[in-house]
Amino acid sequence: YDGQGYTGTLVGNGYQVTVADTEPLDLAFYGFTANPSPAFPYGSPTHVAVCVGGGYVASHGSQSGPEKRDLDYRPVHSLRRYALA
């Protein structure tokens, strides 16, 4: 895996972690695709944010730019960790 992609390709890589085990740079996935498309199969997450530690994520889900939010500001679809080379 070369680290390239979008929300739908990222969620299938790395390995699952729990809320209690999150570390900075883990990815938090949110949402649930109910109306599938080629880019978003049924059940796939629709948004991703970067864990920054202390129970927070950096999310770029608004026009104003990245925001620091509580990890659970939306229902969490899954949490993934990726090995850095």
Query: Rounded distance, CA 75 to CA 85, Å?
Result: 30
- pLDDT score of 3 more than 80: no
Query: Rounded distance, CA 70 to CA 52, Å?
Result: 10
The DSSP bridge partners found for residue 49 are 28
Q: How many CB atoms lie within 10 A of CB 82?
A: 14
- Which tens digits make up the pLDDT trace of 63-83? 778 899 999 999 999 999 987
Q: What is the pLDDT of residue 55?
A: 95
pLDDT (average), residues 57-63: 83
Query: Rounded distance, CA 41 to CA 33, Å?
Result: 7
Q: What is the pLDDT of residue 2?
A: 56
Question: Which tops the pLDDT comparison, 57 or 32?
Answer: 57
